[in-house]
Structure 1
């Protein structure tokens, strides 16, 4: 609960920092309403729509309302999926407004000691330090391989946790060993004639818990004729910080990444996680007020490209024989990959090029699955409502394989498959792992 003094400070910060031109750009037309999962799932409550949240922000700026718990709750419940942006006739950058508002509130309110400790441990003590990410993942690996996981499940200890967390434990990937996580490449040659020289943004979770998908990504790039540089001093993208009201920490991580990549003389910087890519491609906005970094940020952003885009542009699907055993495949968009990076057709084209499969488009494939970073943990009730709808559409395709392009989406869809009791009929897979499977390199 914010005090009166805190509310006054927050209100002043809203007046000083919020982009009033952007707030005024919203015409209140309502085109965003059908695209907003929280508006739909909340029973069409205006305060839980993009239009409604912008109205609340502007009301705080104008001094009409105070930034009380209801305003904060409305902003907290937003997924940040940014599905409202592509349909907005005025081109309102809602995501930028949301991040600024959350940062102002977070930086000017007192968190309880437990919340403060958890935020500090995760956002400052863990994600910015890859060696610590490896250590935590290593502990998870020990839990999986030592027999502790089997024992925990047999004794029913997971019943002590909320249902969605207990189910999530079941769908976590088998994580790599510490040796594999430590022994990472810094340079890979193209396989065949070289077409491009690229750098690879390996990420934090992607290069630990989802390391096999990173390896698949690099193998696909090599097969596409790309020489790959993987700078060892790159850092977490900062998305979790930016979305959680820790904008300054996000800026510091952005600077570390720009510095790590800017002298490599590469054609592109490749990402394979929609959430990371969307934050990376926004570095120019994040650092727009920093005279020492804004041009460097623009140069960095100009090279960001998703793995599916470069594979499609290099005709990977035409130059390589892609085939899989007979199966029905559907695709679940990563919100940030589609809405921010504007990548939707390339992954579909790659999947449809695979022989032996039937591709079926899912209804509302572009609607958020409810993962949204750590949203499915901190807002589990709304997240599960959104996931339930997504699983209705998934089952309607009769798909046996659900493809995603973001680690959070992948875990969320696997969670949905587990909750529906479909693990023997359906699987969730990252697009790079499926493409490598289709090209036969797993053999």
Structure 2
């Protein structure tokens, strides 16, 4: 077997950087197969299953196969939902291996000028800088409010884009003007004697596109008896970078957030986005070889909780009356909230506590909706296949409201409702916003 110079370099990095013990932990039992969306959607192709991908990684590590485009394609098509991990009897950390393998491939990739520009803009120029995110979302808000959106749709300009992007543009929530997205205070006091001090991770998209959800999160925490600290110097969690082969940048952002939260004096660190929370919880792995930050990252990780988890733990749903007009609701799990943060029952307990609602459990609520960060943009065809299957299960509940706990999932479910033409019958909402409505 002859390999190109590039393939030899990739193989050498696999041998050096991939955790051989972790690769060997996979017993090839196949318990993961029925839980893997891409394995199911590709007609049971082994190369697109967790077991198959681990076998490919091991073969590259051992020099048995070349790390060619077929191997890379298998890794790229993975959603990274990590549904394979909870069902693995050997406890294989598949997500960590996937991110390392992608990072190795990215280290040896040569992109076109256009792709380089896009990656540099997104990974270096936009997400690490909250002020730039603010400006970008302000432009989106201007597009929505100025009449440009109406004109663009009327003249058919959006038809120049793929159908999935057209539907996504229609499903995008209205962005508040920047003057209405007021800067958060450093400290918010509890409405009663505080039972805990929490530090709130506000996120980048969550604090711009979903500013109202962040505002409602703080309100719920106050009513739950939490004193809230919002560190000024926090930034993007780095999940998008970590999942896309930009590990060094993700580590840099992790260090910045650890620095920001260390002096908060908080008992817990709270996130309201499943994808962000899971990556924040993975800081201990991300920085495990960093002599200066390994222990600090472990302390950070130990404090991470989702908003639903802390609300249940402090008895919010038992002390605060929750009531809504009659609704039939169903809950769609955030993959990373369920599979990484191990939080599945807390959101359901909160929903069940709302007077006036009927909660219907969706079939395969724990399966991915196909959002997966920017997967629905770069792997649109597979994403829409997965979303269509998800909408079959959603429609079967006859729900009027689909509740999610992650911004990506929320946008994806809005997109699914749009694609199915169900806008007049069904809505998708973040669990925080539903709870806030139930309180008010």
| TM-score interval (norm. to shorter) | over 0.9
Question: For 2:433 and 2:351, how far apart are their aligned partners in 1?
Answer: 12
Residues 25-64 of structure 1: per-residue CA shift (max 9 Å, x gap): 0000000000000000001000000000000000001111
Query: Is 1:363 aligned to residue 363 of structure 2?
Result: yes
Q: Establish whether residue 386 from structure 1 lines up as the match of residue 361 from structure 2.
A: no
SS class of match (1:192): coil
Paired residue secondary structure (2:429) = strand
Which residue of 2 is the match for residue 276 of structure 1? 276
Unmatched segments (≥5 aa) in structure 1: none
Deviations 1:385-409 (A, max 9, x none): 0000000000000000000000000
- Report the equivalent of 1:74: 74
- SS of the equivalent of 1:438 reads helix
Kept in 2, the 8 Å contact 1:335–1:367? The answer is yes
How many Å apart are 1:183 and its aligned residue? 2.6
Q: Is the 8 A contact 1:175 1:208 kept in 2?
A: yes
The residue correspondences of 1:158-237 to structure 2 (distance < 5 A) are: 158-181=158-181, 183-237=183-237
3-state SS of paired residue (1:270): strand
User: Shift of residue 122 of structure 1?
Assistant: 0.2
Measured against aligned partners, the alpha-carbon deviations of 1:274-323 in whole angstroms (never above 9, x if no partner) come to 00000000001000011111000011111110000000011111101111
Whether 2:18 is the aligned partner of 1:33: answer no
3-state DSSP of counterpart to 1:385: helix
What secondary structure sits across from 1:85 in the alignment? coil
Give distance in 2, aligned partners of 1:150 and 1:187: 40
Secondary structure, counterpart of 1:198 in structure 2: strand
**Residue equivalent to 1:250:** 250
Note the alpha carbon deviations across 1:123-159, whole angstroms, 9 max, x for none.
Answer: 0100000000000000001101111111111111111
Q: Find the residue that maps to 1:357 and give its secondary structure.
A: strand
Q: How far apart in 1 are the matches of 2:20 and 2:278?
A: 24
Map of 1:8 onto structure 2: 8
Aligned to 1:151: 151
How far 1:6 sits from its partner (Å)?
A: 1.1
Aligned to 1:110: 110
Compute the displacement of 1:180 (Å).
2.9
- Distance, in Å, in 2 between the alignment partners of 1:197 and 1:391 is 39
Alignment of 1:325-336 (within 5 A): 325-336=325-336
TM superposition shift of 1:184: 2.5
Check whether the contact 1:134–1:181 (CA below 8 A) recurs between aligned residues: no
Q: How does 1:349-360 map to 2 (within 5 A)?
A: 349-360=349-360
Q: Structure 2 stretches of 5 or more lacking a match?
A: none
Q: List per-residue Cα deviations over 1:157-214 (Å, max 9, x = no partner).
A: 1111111100100111111111233532221111122111111000000000110100
What is the aligned partner in structure 2 of residue 308 from structure 1?
308
Name the SS for the 1:207 alignment partner.
coil
After the TM superposition, list the runs of 4 or more consecutive aligned residues in structure 1 that deviate by more than 6 angstroms.
none
Q: Deviation of residue 80 (structure 1)?
A: 0.1
Q: Distance in 2 between matches of 1:357 and 1:426?
A: 14
Root mean square deviation, CA, Å: 0.8
Asked whether 1:65 is paired with 2:65, we answer: yes
State the partner residue of 2:293: 293
TM-score by length of 2: 0.99
Distance 1:336 1:86 in 2: 11
Alpha-carbon separation, structure 2, partners of 1:342 and 1:290: 26
Structure 2: distance between partners of 1:189 and 1:320: 17
1:429 counterpart SS class: strand
What corresponds to 2:92 in structure 1?
92
CA deviation string 1:322-360 (max 9, x = no partner)? 111111100000000000000000000000111111100
Greater mean alpha carbon deviation, residues 53-62 or residues 151-160: 151-160
Instruction: Provide the aligned length of Structure 1 versus Structure 2.
Output: 438
Corresponding residue SS for 1:34: helix
- Offset at residue 108 of structure 1 (A): 1.2
Rounded Cα–Cα distance in structure 2 between residues aligned with 1:98 and 1:32: 15
- SS of the aligned residue for 2:85 comes to helix
Give the TM-score of the pair, scaled to structure 1. Answer: 0.98
